[in-house]
Structure 1
Amino acid sequence: MRLVTFRRTGRLEQRAGALREDGGIVDLAAADRLLEGGLLALIAAEPALLERARAVAAHAPAVEDAVLCAPLPRPAKNIFCVGKNYHEHAKEFAGSGFDATAKEVVPEAPVVFSKPPTSVIGPGEPIPAHLDPTNSVDYEGELAVVIGRGGRGIRKADALGHVFGYTVVNDVTARTLQHKHRQWILGKGIDGFCPMGPAILTADEVPDPGALRLTTHVNGEKRQDAPVSDLIFDIPTLIETISAGISLEPGDIIATGTPAGVGIGFDPPRFLKSGDVVRVEVPGIGVLENPVA
């Protein structure tokens, strides 16, 4: 099941919906008032509310003027992000001259940072590249994990049982700021620098997340293409590592890292500019496309 958050044209209210195979959106709350609390409430009450959502999705009314928002437009906490988590990207980052954080090419342990909730925007919303005074905005297509059942000290063997579903993010980065400040949040946490969507694909539809494949196109040109199985640290390892001392809660998001092909991997770097369009896709979840402002 692909769950979405949407609003109607000209309205601010955000509602929980489901994305049909034909791209249409149905209003789950209109079919069941218990679903009026939005996706975060649904995730927190899972599996009970998820089963209700499944039951009503087939006859919930379609919304002709729906505008997709990020599935979780304002996460309750910062998004957990993982750097240098594909072998080839770790190499291209180390050779780019922008990595000021460590000497090793492939990290010995997951490199975890965060992006604030204010960085999240939805599909189709402009990436505000003008907020980077250094004109070094880059893209990073990523698979993201949405936590369902929370916990601390989650064992790797149990980790996938804590996953509610999967979505797509673009870990947009101001590279010069990332390099200047060493710790990455100021280069990656800028308002609007975390496009997310279009949907959350529930975990029951993804028996093996490693079988998913991610591609990124810029202005129609393929830049990134890799299976999630290429991760250096897989999803259970990331969940175990983060939850060792930090409680994971329903609706928490973990962006798992980006493959090779980002802008700084080219010589000279190919940074984003106003008018560009970035398209990140994971089949099954859908397409996240955003223009650059």
Structure 2
Amino acid sequence: MKLLTFYEKDSLLLGIRVEGRGVLHVTAAANWLNLAGTPIPCNIHDVIAGGSEAIESLERLTEQVLEQEPEIGAVLFQDESGLNLGPCVTHPNKIICVGLNYQKHAEETNAPIPEYPILFNKFNNTLAGHGDDIPLPRVSQKVDYEAELVIVIGKRAKYVSKDEALGHVFGYCNVNDLSARDLQLRTQQWLLGKSCDRFSPLGPYLVTSDEVGNPNDLKISSTVNGEVRQNSNTSDMIFKCDEIVSYISQHMTLEPGDIILTGTPEGVVMGYPPDKQNYLQPGDTVTIEIEKLGQLTNRMVEEA
């Protein structure tokens, strides 16, 4: 199932992308079908926390709507291109990132292959949605793109084994882990260059793990103004998704809705020779695409 969030006035609502039909407005569908008293999750975190039961209720809702076609379809299905999308996970409690987690990316930056996952964090101020403009901070001249796969936790995980780890995952999505390299490398701590406003556009969809299958074998790419910059596969990860979840759970409790950014492949600006490092400029459009997860596109703008 492909889930997304969209703005209606000042609220972020839940939608289901139905192939060939558009986006089902979950709250409107539940109201139309007079399902008061029936447990229908109407925001993304209720779905994540509800797990398989929540997914099953949304599947039944979708089936009921489709059974009553064409009478209510035009009302309840919306054209995705006309929606103002939000981040597909709206309020993660933790945003954990893994650095230098692709073999060829470590090589292009002349960094040693890490013995353990390199962890850092971002904050909710970095969240943005598909289609949002991303302000380039006035204090940086070196903003870089990073295509990454995101793991979204679905079940509390503490001291889980590698074999158990993916059973605690709800689903996956795209992120652009934008990075101000001049700020990131100013000190040994990377946080400053990673946590500028809207530096984690997320989406467009949160895709359930059953639909994704093996997360360690997905094509991943980024383009800038239509030019391919990164073109790889998650199989190049040094630490695979199950290893990452298990490792983090040994040190902290992962809760439903927590997200883990799993690192980026080769092809970032920082990996080019100095005379060919063309960092992002206002007007540049970046698209992140991962197999089965859709395309995440954002335009860079001057900070107001």
Give the alignment's TM-score, normalised by structure 2.
0.88
The answer on whether the counterparts of 1:84 and 1:93 sit within 8 Å (CA) in structure 2 is: no
2:100 counterpart (79, 84, 107): 84
The answer on whether the counterparts of 2:21 and 2:77 sit within 8 Å (CA) in structure 1 is: no
Gaps of 5+ in 1: 95-103
Tell me the residue number matched to 1:101.
none
Spell out, residue by residue over 1:224-243, the C-alpha distance to the aligned partner (whole angstroms, 9 max, x if none).
11111110000011001111
Tell me the residue number matched to 2:279.
271
Spell out, residue by residue over 1:12-38, the C-alpha distance to the aligned partner (whole angstroms, 9 max, x if none).
111111113348211122223644540
Dislocated runs of 4+, deviation >4 Å: none
Gaps of 5+ in 2: 31-35, 67-75
Distance in 1 between the 2:300 and 2:158 partners? 38
Tell me the residue number matched to 1:5.
5
Tell me the residue number matched to 1:70.
87
The answer on whether the counterparts of 2:220 and 2:233 sit within 8 Å (CA) in structure 1 is: yes
Tell me the percent identity: 39
22-31 or 83-92, which deviates more: 22-31
Spell out, residue by residue over 1:233-292, the C-alpha distance to the aligned partner (whole angstroms, 9 max, x if none).
000110011110200000110111100000111223121000000000113110000000
Classify the secondary structure of the residue corresponding to 2:289: strand
List aligned pairs for 1:1-293, cutoff 5 A.
Answer: 1-8=1-8, 11-22=9-20, 24-32=22-30, 34-35=39-40, 37-58=42-63, 59=65, 61-64=76-79, 65-77=82-94, 79-94=95-110, 105-129=112-136, 131-267=137-273, 268=275, 269-293=277-301
Deviation at 1:54, TM superposition (A): 1.5
Distance in 1 between the 2:85 and 2:22 partners? 11
The answer on whether the counterparts of 2:26 and 2:42 sit within 8 Å (CA) in structure 1 is: no
Give the alignment's TM-score, normalised by structure 1.
0.91
Classify the secondary structure of the residue corresponding to 1:209: coil
Spell out, residue by residue over 1:117-145, the C-alpha distance to the aligned partner (whole angstroms, 9 max, x if none).
1100001111111x241311000010101
Deviation at 1:182, TM superposition (A): 1.6
Deviation at 1:184, TM superposition (A): 0.9
Distance in 1 between the 2:139 and 2:84 partners? 30
The answer on whether the counterparts of 1:132 and 1:174 sit within 8 Å (CA) in structure 2 is: no
Distance in 2 between the 1:52 and 1:162 partners? 20
Q: Whose radius of gyration is greater, 1 or 2?
A: 2
Distance in 2 between the 1:251 and 1:122 partners? 16
Classify the secondary structure of the residue corresponding to 1:158: helix
The answer on whether the counterparts of 1:25 and 1:66 sit within 8 Å (CA) in structure 2 is: no
Distance in 1 between the 2:291 and 2:19 partners? 12
The answer on whether the counterparts of 1:73 and 1:122 sit within 8 Å (CA) in structure 2 is: no
Tell me the residue number matched to 1:100.
none
Classify the secondary structure of the residue corresponding to 2:167: helix
How many pairs are equivalent? Answer: 280
The answer on whether the counterparts of 2:145 and 2:269 sit within 8 Å (CA) in structure 1 is: yes
